[in-house]
Amino acid sequence: MVDIFDLTLHRTDRHRPFELVAPGFAAAVVDTLAPGSPDDAGLTLHTRGPEAPFATVEARLRAAEGSIALGLGTEDGDHVLVRWTARTSRVSLEVRTRGRTRVLRRRKVGLGEGAGLAFALCENQVTALVDAGEGWQPVLTERAKVSALVDLRRETTLARFRYAWGTTGVTASNVRAGLFGMTGLRDPHLVQHADGSPYEREGRQFLTWTCAGLGSFRQAHWTAWSFDPASPRDMRLESQIFSRRDGLVLGDHAGHLVRHQDRWLLATSSWGDFTPGSIHVRHAETDADLLSGVHVIDTAPTPLPTEHATWDPSLLLHDGSWRVAFVESPSQKKWNFHPALARGPQASTGQADGPWFEGLELVAAAKDLTQCEGPIFARVGSEPWLLASDKVGQNYPVFDLDGQRRGRLDAPYPTNIPHPQLVPDPTGGWWMLTFDNAQYAPRVMGYGGHGDVVLMHSV
């Protein structure tokens, strides 16, 4: 039987999932959009709007004349749009509320026949993107001015808006609208049974990933993907999972899904409205099928045994008690964070008696590590281990279930803080699925669009 310290992993693949409209989650597809009257500035409203403030409307220009608008609109005339006008060769970002239209950003962008234009909403950040033949590139983005006029995170506000488009003298094609996809992926976590074994359906296993959005932490969201454990590049987006709290729909992410007693245990991190000092682990339990469709889940704060900020929860039921790993962070201004391990009460029945988060006591915290996250439980050989990722040391420390450091994984260390998600290969050996710091369009979008998927395999 292979011991974890016998593994030597090497890189086998690197790729970047990228889609503005999430695959399988398009709400509308229009082959041809006929030009409207030059005097008609109205919008066509679809019958549906997005379930969360993560949405895209994209189109291709057939004739570079007139103007085209893409975005979200309401029956009473409010809208949040990206508009391109051929006469001025300008892309603009506009919001209309209470009968007044405000142009928040504009930029001169020449577009020819066949070029693409897209509106993307991630949380309250709106971005205009164009594709002139070299792939989608952002040209304008704005959050503060948008959120000052309309807070699309508010469930009652978002419910008024539907996907919208309109043309004046322009013929467009391939109009697609739906939930936003991803500019990259990060924070992989295997979907597991409570004992740590992979959850399977029809030979496929599942991972949750954070979908990098157009912006930073608040503009990302959480998803579940199925994959072939013999060939994990074969990934398919299956579900999108959002959090509801305080009347807001947010893209909380970096969590763990666990199947226990015919229900789903959900633990996630409150990155969806991140400000320094606020980040914490949240939880929920449901019998909804979280591996299919779109879900907006009510979550509650998790009572972890620490006074500090927390994220990256990981759960394991072992020898009749819950083990809960998480990141403990004394500071997010000058970043300082490390893995911690807690243990729940011992049950006499061999199964935990109460919820996984009740009665937790801190076992250990690796306070000597200052930029170490991504704690993941993995059973390699006969023992379950706790793995993490240390940016400063450029390695993956391995802890036992008493929180003692026992060594490190023998594996390459990409950029950023790559989470060491080990997955058994049914054809032999082990995979590690992780990510790196490759950014998407940082000159316009800044930090936060990172997430090339990196695959490794044991020798």
CATH of the domain at 417: 2.115.10.20
Which pLDDT score, from 0 to 100, does residue 170 have? 74
The tens place of each residue's pLDDT in the chain, 459 residues long, gives 679 999 999 999 999 999 999 999 999 898 877 666 444 457 999 999 999 999 999 999 987 678 999 999 999 999 999 999 999 999 999 999 999 999 999 999 999 888 999 999 999 999 999 999 999 999 999 999 999 999 999 999 999 999 999 988 777 889 999 999 999 999 999 999 999 999 999 999 999 999 999 999 999 999 999 999 999 999 999 999 999 999 999 999 999 999 999 999 999 999 999 988 899 999 999 999 999 999 999 999 999 999 999 999 999 999 999 999 999 999 999 999 999 999 999 875 656 668 999 999 999 999 999 999 999 999 998 889 999 999 999 999 999 999 999 999 999 999 999 999 999 999 999 999 999 999 999 999 999 999 999 999 998
Residue 128 sits in a domain whose CATH number is: 2.60.120.560
- Check whether residue 172 and residue 215 sit in a common domain: no
DSSP β-ladder status, 231-245 and 293-298: parallel
In the listed set 181, 205, 225, which residue is the last one of a domain according to the structure? 181
**What is the distance between the alpha carbons of residues 291 and 394, in angstroms, rounded to a whole number?**
33
**DSSP assigned state of 346:** P
| Burial degree of 382 (CB within 10 A; 0-12, 13-18, 19+) | exposed
Contact by Cβ (8 Å): 398, 386: yes
Which pLDDT score, from 0 to 100, does residue 172 have? 84
**DSSP assigned state of 24:** E
In the listed set 157, 181, 205, which residue is the last one of a domain according to the structure? 181
- Check whether residue 362 and residue 433 sit in a common domain: yes
Domain that holds residue 411: 4-18+183-458
* Number of structural domains the chain divides into: 2
Which of helix, strand or coil describes residue 121? strand
Which pLDDT score, from 0 to 100, does residue 36 have? 61
- Check whether residue 31 and residue 145 sit in a common domain: yes
**DSSP assigned state of 333:** T
**DSSP assigned state of 218:** G
The pTM score is 0.95
Q: 10 Å Cβ neighbour count for 3?
A: 11
- Check whether residue 291 and residue 338 sit in a common domain: yes
Which pLDDT score, from 0 to 100, does residue 38 have? 44
- Check whether residue 296 and residue 240 sit in a common domain: yes
Find tokens 């890189």 and name the residue.
11
Strand blocks (E) in 146-184: 162-168, 172-182
**What is the distance between the alpha carbons of residues 183 and 219, in angstroms, rounded to a whole number?**
11
Counting Cα atoms < 13 Å in the Cβ hemisphere of 62 gives 14
- Check whether residue 59 and residue 119 sit in a common domain: yes
- Check whether residue 256 and residue 324 sit in a common domain: yes
- Check whether residue 13 and residue 31 sit in a common domain: no
In the listed set 154, 181, 208, which residue is the last one of a domain according to the structure? 181
Which pLDDT score, from 0 to 100, does residue 1 have? 64
- Check whether residue 85 and residue 190 sit in a common domain: no
- Check whether residue 290 and residue 374 sit in a common domain: yes
- Check whether residue 177 and residue 189 sit in a common domain: no
Which pLDDT score, from 0 to 100, does residue 39 have? 40
Contact by Cβ (8 Å): 213, 222: no
- Check whether residue 269 and residue 407 sit in a common domain: yes
